[in-house]
Every structure is written in structure tokens, then in C-alpha cells.
């Protein structure tokens, strides 16, 4: 189960004078759900385009399941859900999924793919009449109906409502449980944090970090302490272990610290009345923000 | 669902082609039939134009003594083929290309030639339907009749000779934006038809248009149809050569534009 599904070796990609990817080395293990994160323009979609064989690398090699991604042999084992919902508006949901099923040698039963994408009640509706979130689910059904070993999902939950999102992640979990390799990009970091085995952070065409959600979070060892009190900024800064502090005119304080326990103890001992205390560990989002913030000046000067 | 080991030797199996091709043709026909503007433009307009401009003259005979009705039917039939080619390949391909549908198909295991073959088959089927409806209308409203053999031969010649028009449609589809493609499709199908002598006989057109007509693909297509009606095939070779030349030129341009898109990753 733990072989290599996708391998990028020294991959570079330029569009005219824009260098979208710089010497990217990446190994996606089979059977894992990997989240590819990065701000807009980080090169995520370019990387997926290369893995899909839609783009040719300017330098380096891309191998998917041991083969060239542009070979038909590889493509029969790959499913993709691109960012823009491109669907045949005149076909019904079931017709579109049936058409895609016929492109693959061993597809899932159409009804199963529809159920997986929570589309059974909409099977008879024209693709052109779907809402944004429903269209995303149809794109997902088209990606999975071929029963592919590797799934690429570019911003899969963008435009989905909360219910659709939940159904989508349940389906992604099922695909993973069935041994599929999933590579997805998302802007919803809390979702990635919950489901991804592995997180890859990119910025400006460079790889910034690569690890489990826990290991990335651990890089940002700080916690956030929030409460409401009468303390002013100078007083907040004098609390023990405070690395950064902010307060608004209504007394909502937000502090960053590596020792939240000591900070809260000092606050209690000071006797100052406070309420709405909230202590949170660094989230993947914090890790992501601090990683990309650190990298940005370097990337600009590079 | 069973657990797979994706890194094991990849199966070399491909999806069987016949059901896939049938599915693609069916999808294409559904797309054509379910788009009311397309159906009206390609089935309705030729019948309407025939009723307006052709019907009053169907009982006349030409100077050479041929039946004008059959001649006019071929003219408007050629026009209907031109508009099917322009709309189903020009406007529709441009839309599929810009919307990202073509990009999704490129990432799928669907071979590009199969996508193209399905589109051509569907367009030919739709064209056959268009010709049949037009003939039926001409028969019922104007009493235009064909001996079965002549009618069939004329139809087949027109459909085969339609290939360069399809290639021209593909050029438009791969070069123009969706909005400009549908405008181009409209303009081309009307102006080129007019210039080819499909609406008004060539000898009634201004001199410069008469001189220009032999450079239009639909002129040669109509000539083949008119020859089939009058039962003479002597001059056909020249027209086939012209049409083959157009197929080559338009096909190369379309292929170049397709590769250009592919290189951009669109």
C-alpha cells in the first residue's frame, strides 16, 4: 500500500516569462490523502496540470503510477475534478456520468458513483440546471466513476454548502478507505487538517513544507489566548510569556504565547476580572500563514 | 468497492471503443436536439428560406430544361449542411473549449480522434435529418419529387462533400471565442451560401460575385448536388478535388489550433 503513486523530479514550468514552478521534488505515496496548500499563484493548479499530463514540464520528469501521465494507460487509472465546473449542460446528470463511465475499462456502476456524490435525487436533472454546489458534486462523480487509482481534486469544496461539503468529505474518506490515492487542493484548511494524511505547502512555485498536519502545526509552537477584560495593551504585554498582543476598544484581547498555562495562571493571580477565556493550539491555518508569511519576502527577492 | 493496490503493474486494458463511440454520438445528438436555438437555426431556417425564396419557383424549368424544384431543393439543402457544420462545430466547439469541458476530456482516457469522430458522425446524422425534413417539406408544399435512386445519391454526395465544411467549422471552433464563433457561424452560413448561388441563382448575381463563387467550398458542394440531380457526373472530379483541398487546408489549420490549445494546457 505504501508505494509511490506520483513522483515529480526536479520539475520546472514556465509560462512565457513567468516561472510557475521551480525545481519541484514531490513524492505522493499510494493510498494517502494529500492536501496541497498554498496561496493563489503558488503553482498548485500548474502542478496538477502536469500530473494530469495537460501540461508539459519545462524541466524535470513527472511519473504517475510509474508511467507518463499523458499515456492512455495512465489516464485510465486517473480521475480529475478540475477547478472550473465544465459540464455538458444539455446532458442529464445520469447521462453525463454514464458517458464518463464508458471511457474507463473497469468503471463503478453509475448508480454507485451517483450515490457517492449524493446525486441520486438529481440524476434526471440537466447538468446546466444544477446549482454551483451540485455542479461540483457532478464533477466529483465524473472523477470517481472510472474507479481510478489516483484522484485529483482541485478546490473540490469551493462553492459547496455545508451539507454538500460534509457529503463530499464522507465520500473522499470512502475512496481513501478503498485504497485510492487522493491529491487535493483546498482553501478550507480546517477540512484538510481533519482528513489529510499529509500536507504539502507551496508558495510562489516552491515547496515550503511537507509533513503530517500534526508536524506542520508543531512548527508553530505558539498558542492563542483570548479573553475580555479592562487591561490595556501595555498591561497585556507585561503578562508572562506574551510574544504578541492585541486588544480592541471593547477589551477583546488576543495574545500569542508558547506558555499558555503560565499566562492564564498569572492572569488569574493578578485578580483582574476577565471573561470569555479561550485558549487554542496553533491550527494548520496558523502554521500555513506563518510559513507563507516567512517565505514571501524571500520569494520576492528570488 | 474492493481495496486496490494501485502501484501494482498497471492494467493495459482500455475501455471498449464501440459503446464509448455510441455513447459519445448519443450525447452529441442529445446536445444538438436539446438546444432549441440550434434546432431552429439548422432545421428551421433552411425550410423557412426555402419556403420564402425557393417555393415560388419550384414549378419553373431552367434554361437547360431541368426541373427547377430539384435544383432549388439541392441549393437549400447545401445551405442547411453549411449551417449544421458552422453551428455544431464552430459555435459548439468554441463553447466546449472555453468552458473547460474539452480540458476535462483531455485529462480523461478519451482519445481525441474518438471525440472528433463522434462529433462528425453526429453532425452527419443530424444533417441527414435536416435534408430529409427539407425534402419532405419540399414534397408536401411544392410537390418536388425525386426518383428514389437520384435522391439517395444526391443526399450521399452532399453528406460526403460536407467534410470540408466540418473542417472549416472546427477551425472557427478552435480559433474563435464562443461569442464571436456564433456570430461568425451566422455570417458565414448566410454570406457564403449567398455567394455560392444557393439563395439566388449564380447568373443573377453581380459579376464579381460570380467570379468569386468558384473559390467557395459550398459552391463546389452545390455543383456536385446539382450534377447529381441532372444525372451527369462528368464535371464532378474538379469539385471533389477542390473540396479535398479545402479539407486539407482547414484540417491543418484546425489541427494547429488544437495543438496550440493543448500546449497552453487549455
Give the gap in angstroms from C-alpha A274 to the nearest C-alpha of chain B: 54
B8 found inside a domain = no
B2 found inside a domain = no
Partners of residue B27 in chain A, C-beta under 8 Å: 88, 91, 95-96, 99
B100 found inside a domain = yes
Pick B10's closest partner by Cβ from A77, A88, A142.
A77
* CATH code reported for the domain at A222-281: 3.30.70.100
Chain B interface with A: residues with Cβ < 8 Å: 1-7, 10-15, 19-20, 23-24, 27, 30-31, 34-35, 99-104, 106-111, 263, 265
Q: Which residue of A has its CA nearest to B107?
A: A52
Pick B34's closest partner by Cβ from A90, A104, A181.
A90
Q: Which residue of A has its CA nearest to B19?
A: A102
CB contact under 8 A, B107 and A56: no
- Ordered by start, the domain boundaries in chain A are 4-77+149-217, 222-281
Task: Characterize B233-249 residue by residue with b for buried, 16 or more Cβ atoms within 10 angstroms of its Cβ, and e for exposed.
Answer: eeebeebeebbeebbee
B181 found inside a domain = yes
Query: Model confidence at B121, in pLDDT bands (50, 70, 90)?
Result: very high
Query: Model confidence at A150, in pLDDT bands (50, 70, 90)?
Result: very high
At residue B171, the 3 state secondary structure works out as: helix
CA-to-CA distance for B240 and B161, rounded, in angstroms?
7
Domain residues for the domain of B212 are 36-264
CB contact under 8 A, B14 and A76: yes
> Is the predicted pLDDT of residue B12 greater than 60, yes or no?
no
Pick B27's closest partner by Cβ from A5, A80, A88.
A88
Pick B106's closest partner by Cβ from A54, A66, A95.
A54
A175-200 residue pLDDT tens: 999 999 999 998 888 888 888 999 99
B220 found inside a domain = yes
Average pLDDT, chain B: 86
CB contact under 8 A, B265 and A49: yes
Domain A4-77+149-217, CATH 3.30.70.890 — does that match? no
CB contact under 8 A, B104 and A178: no
B22-56 residue pLDDT tens: 999 999 999 888 888 788 888 898 999 999 988 88
Q: DSSP for B120-163?
A: HHHHHHHHHHHHHHHHHHHHHHH-----HHHHHHHHHHHHHTTH
What pLDDT shows up at residue A302? 36
Please state which of the ranges A276-280, B35-39, B244-248 shows the lowest mean pLDDT.
B35-39
Query: Model confidence at A215, in pLDDT bands (50, 70, 90)?
Result: confident
Interface test mutation site (partner B, options A102, A106, A125, max chain B beta carbons within 10 A):
A102
Partners of residue A103 in chain B, C-beta under 8 Å: 15, 20, 108-110
B25 found inside a domain = no
Query: Model confidence at B65, in pLDDT bands (50, 70, 90)?
Result: low
Partners of residue B13 in chain A, C-beta under 8 Å: 76, 105-106
The runs of H, that is alpha helices, within A87-188 are 93-101, 110-116, 132-144, 162-177
CB contact under 8 A, A178 and B103: no
A22-58 residue pLDDT tens: 999 999 999 999 999 988 888 888 999 999 988 889 9
The runs of H, that is alpha helices, within B86-111 are 92-99, 101-107
> Nearest 5 degrees, angle CA B228-CA B230-CA B235?
65
CA-to-CA distance for A174 and A183, rounded, in angstroms?
14
CB contact under 8 A, B7 and A95: no
B97 found inside a domain = yes
Asked if B53 and B75 count as a contact pair (C-beta separation under 8 A), the reply is: no
> Nearest 5 degrees, angle CA B256-CA B261-CA B263?
95
Count of structural domains within chain B: 1
CA-to-CA distance for A254 and A228, rounded, in angstroms?
9
Rg (CA), chain B: 20
CB contact under 8 A, B111 and A72: yes
Separation of first and last alpha carbons in chain A: 39
What pLDDT shows up at residue A300? 41
What pLDDT shows up at residue A296? 59
CA-to-CA distance for A114 and A133, rounded, in angstroms?
15
B3 found inside a domain = no
What pLDDT shows up at residue B8? 38
Amino acid at each position: 500500500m505504501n508505494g509511490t503513486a506520483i513522483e515529480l523530479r526536479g520539475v520546472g514550468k514556465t509560462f512565457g516569462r513567468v516561472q510557475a514552478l521551480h525545481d519541484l521534488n514531490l513524492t505522493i505515496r499510494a493510498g494517502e490523502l494529500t492536501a496541497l496548500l498554498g496561496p493563489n499563484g503558488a503553482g498548485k493548479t500548474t502542478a496538477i496540470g502536469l500530473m494530469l499530463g495537460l501540461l508539459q514540464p519545462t524541466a524535470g520528469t513527472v511519473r504517475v503510477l510509474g508511467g507518463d501521465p499523458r499515456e492512455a494507460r495512465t489516464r485510465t487509472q486517473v480521475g480529475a475534478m478540475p477547478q472550473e465546473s465544465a459540464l455538458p449542460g444539455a446532458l442529464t446528470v445520469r447521462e453525463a456520468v454514464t458517458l464518463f463511465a464508458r471511457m474507463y475499462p473497469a468503471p463503478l456502476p453509475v448508480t454507485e458513483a451517483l450515490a457517492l456524490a449524493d446525486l441520486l435525487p438529481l440524476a434526471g436533472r440537466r447538468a446546466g440546471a444544477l446549482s454551483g454546489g451540485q455542479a461540483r458534486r457532478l464533477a466529483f462523480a465524473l472523477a470517481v466513476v472510472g474507479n481510478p487509482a489516483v484522484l485529483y481534486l482541485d478546490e473540490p469544496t469551493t462553492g459547496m454548502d455545508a451539507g454538500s461539503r460534509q457529503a463530499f468529505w464522507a465520500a473522499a474518506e470512502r475512496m481513501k478507505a478503498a485504497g485510492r490515492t487522493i491529491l487535493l487542493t483546498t482553501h478550507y484548511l480546517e477540512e484538510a487538517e481533519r482528513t489529510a494524511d499529509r500536507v504539502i505547502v507551496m508558495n510562489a512555485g516552491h515547496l515550503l513544507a511537507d509533513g503530517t498536519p500534526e508536524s506542520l502545526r508543531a512548527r508553530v509552537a505558539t498558542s492563542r489566548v483570548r479573553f475580555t477584560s479592562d487591561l490595556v495593551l501595555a498591561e497585556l504585554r507585561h503578562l508572562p510569556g506574551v510574544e504578541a498582543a492585541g486588544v480592541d476598544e471593547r477589551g477583546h484581547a488576543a495574545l500569542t504565547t508558547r506558555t499558555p498555562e503560565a499566562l492564564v495562571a498569572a492572569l488569574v493571580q493578578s485578580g483582574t476580572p476577565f471573561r470569555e477565556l479561550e485558549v487554542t493550539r496553533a491550527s494548520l491555518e496558523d502554521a500555513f500563514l506563518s510559513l507563507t508569511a516567512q517565505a514571501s519576502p524571500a520569494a520576492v527577492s528570488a | 468497492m474492493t481495496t486496490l493496490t494501485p502501484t501494482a503493474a498497471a492494467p493495459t486494458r482500455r475501455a471498449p471503443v464501440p459503446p464509448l463511440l455510441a455513447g459519445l454520438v448519443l450525447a452529441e445528438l442529445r446536445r444538438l436536439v436539446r438546444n432549441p436555438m440550434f434546432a431552429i437555426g439548422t432545421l428551421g431556417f433552411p425550410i423557412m428560406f426555402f419556403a420564402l425564396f425557393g417555393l415560388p419557383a419550384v414549378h419553373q424549368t431552367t434554361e437547360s430544361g431541368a426541373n427547377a424544384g430539384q435544383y432549388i431543393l439541392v441549393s437549400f439543402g447545401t445551405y442547411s449542411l453549411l449551417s449544421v457544420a458552422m453551428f455544431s462545430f464552430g459555435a459548439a466547439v468554441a463553447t466546449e473549449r472555453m468552458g473547460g469541458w474539452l480540458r476535462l476530456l483531455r485529462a480523461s482516457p478519451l482519445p481525441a480522434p474518438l471525440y472528433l469522430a463522434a462529433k462528425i458522425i453526429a453532425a452527419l446524422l443530424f444533417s441527414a435529418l435536416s435534408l430529409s425534413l427539407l425534402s419532405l417539406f419540399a414534397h408536401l408544399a411544392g410537390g418536388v419529387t425525386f426518383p428514389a435512386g437520384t435522391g439517395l445519391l444526391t443526399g450521399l454526395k452532399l453528406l460526403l462533400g460536407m467534410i470540408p465544411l466540418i473542417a472549416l467549422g472546427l477551425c472557427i471552433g478552435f480559433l474563435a471565442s464562443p461569442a464571436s464563433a456564433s456570430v461568425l457561424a451566422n455570417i458565414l452560413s448566410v454570406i457564403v451560401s449567398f455567394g455560392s448561388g444557393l439563395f439566388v441563382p449564380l447568373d443573377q448575381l453581380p459579376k464579381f460575385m460570380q467570379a468569386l463563387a468558384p473559390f467557395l467550398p459550398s459552391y463546389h458542394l452545390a455543383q456536385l448536388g446539382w450534377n447529381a440531380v441532372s444525372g451527369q457526373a462528368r464535371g464532378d472530379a474538379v469539385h471533389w478535388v477542390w473540396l479535398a483541398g479545402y479539407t486539407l487546408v482547414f484540417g491543418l489549420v484546425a489541427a494547429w489550433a488544437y495543438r496550440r490549445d493543448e500546449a497552453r494546457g487549455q
